[in-house]
Structure 1
Amino acid sequence: MNIFGASPIDLNTLTNLSTEAPEIIVWAAPFMFLFVLIEWFVSRKQHPEMYNKVETIASIFVGIGNVFIAFLLKFGLFFIVVAVYNLLPWRMFLNWWMVIPCYVLLDFCSYWSHRISHHQRFWWATHVVHHSGENYNLTVSFRLSWVQHIKIIFFLPVALSGFHPLVFFVANQVAVLFQFWVHTEYIKKLPPFFEYIFATPSNHRVHHGSQEKYINKNFGATFIIWDRIFGTYEPEDEKVIYGLTHKLEKKGNPFYINFHEFIDIWKDMRDAKGFKKKWFFLFGDPSDIYHEKLKSFNHLEQNNSVKDESVTPNHFHLIKENGN
């Protein structure tokens, strides 16, 4: 079976090729909403606090916005992947079994993209949406940033590996779909083998925890093995407290949920003195920024510079310690 040596893709046929890409997420959408309804119905009697009306509606609108933006960007993203594919001398033929190695490499890149998104504030702003829910249920999987597609740069190693564009897009859709079922409290710990290899609901609940021991842990999207290898694994051994360490002011507004962190970044950079400080507020570690702003607040307070008693560290746009 030939693997390498495929011909470049004719860009004139790109529209036809993009329509051939299976719409796995679209096909799965009715089933996803069915499971959401089942979880919501069951939780009404067992755990009524699991679903908050305002948060649930916000999650749905955030998800709809993300799907709409993804639809608008689909052709452009596909063009980029095909253009990179055509430049490579090691282009692979379209063999569907190649989805497996492509998926593994994609998940490895996803781990690092996810980890960086917690340690650099700009990228955190493209991810904070997903951690903004204070109730953990299947609708949390809909909370995906409307600007998250700029993180495609983290997946260039996958595109540069020579996988056929259709293989790349199928693997990506399956990876996104996999992350739906882990956002629930109804699935407890699975057998040890699965917990050791995969990002199960138990492992992913830890990732959404706001406790200090859970912050910046379990970044794996499908395989938790990356966290075990690189030292970011934490088991679920106490009840998880979800959400950010600061409360969102408008948790029902999908626009605020998506862009509040970018607004805070702009304010911090505007007020910062010097390029180095501005760069720090743009790309610094959220933990370092938190402590820097807390120190500034305490300094102002000690010098009686804070005139309004209603002003607290949160009004200095403090973001979550260590990120989420």
Structure 2
Amino acid sequence: MTPSVLSNPAAEIISPNDEGSVARTIRKIWRFNIHEDMLGNNKLHLYGALAAAGIVWLFATPKLAFLFDPLDTNSVHIFHMMPQINLNNEFGPIATILLWLALFRFAFLVAVGIADIVFHKRATGKPFAWKGMVNTSMANIMMWLFGFLFIGVSPYFEQFMAYYMTLLRGVPQIVDVNGPLAVIVACLIGDFCFYWSHRLTHNMRLLWNLGHINHHRHENLTQFHFAAEPDVLALKASKGITLFMLPLMSALFTSDLVGVGWFLVAVLLIDIWIDPSHSPVLYKLEQKYKALRMMRLVFVTVAVHYTHHSSEPRHNKKTGCNFGARFTVWDRLFGTYTEPDEEVPQTGLFGKHADYCYNPIRFLLLPYVRFYKELRFNHVRHWPKILFGSVFYSPPVKARMSH
């Protein structure tokens, strides 16, 4: 995460001097915030809002898409950042087990989300943030709609990637691996690419402010409170340089998964356990049992990734910590690993003026308005640093708003 570089917490999209009913309406919408009593005064509104938030959360999580993949493509998502496995005849009865585990993955994710609601106060000492759940869910569905703004750019980007993939066909393969080793290599390569892509989103102003910042925005992080990132271009942590690095590194290796079925079952079980990485309930459960804590020697467990979201200064090295998706090896190797505390840490953004935005419209658009104002009121010579500089860079003329 990055410290706040702006001193004024006001979040204005329209000048108070502007006239007209349209300007006043926009200003009113922009300043609106969801309040707890708005949900609590009418139980019907509360339950309706929570039901809608839960449904939106289901559609926002990529696990819902993975749930139907076996039906459409006869393939299963085994491990994060690893290509899906085609369940051909060579897998035999193990294919059925993998299919059932894929269904269990989704059920487990939902169960953990419910546990976060029921046991949140026991795990964190704080009541569950209902307004945050509603706000984040609304922001997530708006994020999906917001992606349509980039449809005009997507065909050109897809053509560029197709050309890039054509070039990669000429890359010589330097290593031939098979069996369980092939799975391990594929997982490590995917996680290595994710590590650097994720770390870049925490270091470049453009990627942080227009993409990844929303994922770190909630003070009371749970499975129902983490916001999705714009699934466009390179604004998502799992994309970025991964779009170029992963195909290149994968082209250097050939892999054969024949006879590796039971190993895939073990890998999938591990992925299922560590995937709900924003759960304070699983954080506390992990801290209770030494065997679960020992997994940190190799894997990015729930507590390890939850610490990545911590706003505690001791948990952050420059722009963050624990950038890996599934393995701690890269964070340990490159000096960004931080061991989780005994207690669940405070999450969110740095700085007392950080705007946690209980308004889905402002939540989504505020960083874009900020960039617009920075570009508008600063000389063009400052634009490269405004866009591509470090997150610690502060332009000469600051936008009068927080994050």
Question: TM-score, normalised on structure 1?
Answer: 0.67
The residue correspondences of 1:188-207 to structure 2 (distance < 5 A) are: 188-189=286-287, 191=291, 193-207=294-308
1:115 counterpart = 2:221: no
Question: Alignment identity in percent?
Answer: 22
Distance in 1 separating the partners of 2:183 and 2:368:
35
Q: Distance in 1 between matches of 2:147 and 2:273?
A: 18
2:324 to 192, 196, 220: 220
The aligned counterpart of 1:20 is 73
1:247 aligned residue (334, 338, 354)? 354
For residues 206-285 of structure 1, the aligned pairs below 5 Å read 206-215=307-316, 216-237=320-341, 239=343, 240-245=345-350, 246-248=353-355, 250-253=357-360, 255-275=361-381, 277-285=382-390
1:102-181 correspondence to structure 2 within 5 Å? 102-125=186-209, 126-140=211-225, 142-147=226-231, 149-150=233-234, 151=236, 152-155=239-242, 156-160=244-248, 161-162=250-251, 180-181=275-276
Inter-partner Cα distance in structure 1 for 2:112 and 2:197: 28
Task: Tell me how far 1:139 sits from its aligned partner.
Answer: 2.0
Deviations 1:95-154 (A, max 9, x none): 8964542221111111111111111110102100110011021224x4121245525341
Alpha-carbon distance between aligned partners in 1 of 2:271 and 2:145, rounded to the nearest angstrom? 16
- Following superposition, the deviation at residue 51 of structure 1 comes to 2.2
Equivalent residue in structure 1 for 2:112, among 19, 32, 35: 35
Tell me the SS of whatever aligns to 2:311: coil
Distance 1:78 1:283, change over 3 A: closer
Secondary structure, aligned partner of 2:358: coil
Residue 213 of structure 1 aligns to a residue in which SS?
A: helix
Whether the 8 Å CA contact 2:322–2:328 is kept in 1: the answer is yes
61-70 or 39-48: bigger deviation = 61-70
Deviates more, 1:97-106 or 1:221-230: 97-106
Instruction: Name structure 2 gaps, 5 residues minimum.
Output: 1-70, 79-101, 258-263
Q: Is the 8 A contact 2:131 2:358 kept in 1?
A: yes
Equivalent residue number for residue 308 of structure 1: none
> Residue 40 of structure 2 corresponds to which residue in structure 1?
none
CA contact (8 A) 1:50 1:135 kept: no
- Corresponding letter in the other structure for 2:389: G
Compare relative contact order (CA 8 Å, sep 6+) and give the higher one, 1 or 2.
2
Query: What root-mean-square deviation, in Å, do the aligned CA atoms of Structure 1 and Structure 2 show?
Result: 4.3
Stretches of structure 1 that go unaligned for 5 or more consecutive residues are: 1-17, 298-314, 320-324
1:203/1:225 Cα in 2 relative to 1: closer, same or farther (>3 Å)? same
Q: Which amino acid aligns with 1:119?
A: N
- The verdict on how the C-alpha distance between 1:237 and 1:283 changes in structure 2, with shifts beyond 3 A counting, is same
State the number of aligned residues. 272
The answer to whether the 8 A contact 1:54-1:252 is kept is no
Instruction: Tell me how far 1:19 sits from its aligned partner.
Output: 4.8
Q: Which moved more, 1:75-84 or 1:189-198?
A: 75-84
Partner Cα distance (2:233, 2:108) in 1: 24
User: Counterparts of 1:274 and 1:80 in 2: how far apart (Å)?
Assistant: 28
| Residues 190-245 of structure 1: per-residue CA shift (max 9 Å, x gap) | 54542222212222222111122223111111112211111112223475221112
Q: Which moved more, 1:35-44 or 1:61-70?
A: 61-70
Decide which moves more: 46-55 or 34-43: 46-55
Tell me how far 1:40 sits from its aligned partner.
0.9
- Could you say which structure has the higher helix fraction? 1
Code of the residue aligned with 1:154 in structure 2: it is I
* Deviation larger for 48-57 or 118-127: 48-57
The one-character-per-residue Cα deviations of 1:250-274 (angstroms, maximum 9, x if unpaired) are 3241x43233222211211111123
Q: 1:96 to 1:53 in 2, by over 3 A?
A: farther
* Stretch of structure 1 that moved more, 224-233 or 187-196: 187-196
Residues 142-187 of structure 1 show CA distances to partners (whole Å, capped at 9, x for unaligned) of: 41212455253412222123379xx9xx9xxx89977642212223
**Match of residue 277 from structure 2:** 182
Deviation string 1:32-73 (CA, Å, 9 cap, x unpaired) is: 223211221233666573521111122333445567889999
SS of 1:139's equivalent in the other structure is coil
1:46–1:104 Cα change, 3 Å: closer
Q: Give the CA deviation at 1:280.
A: 1.4
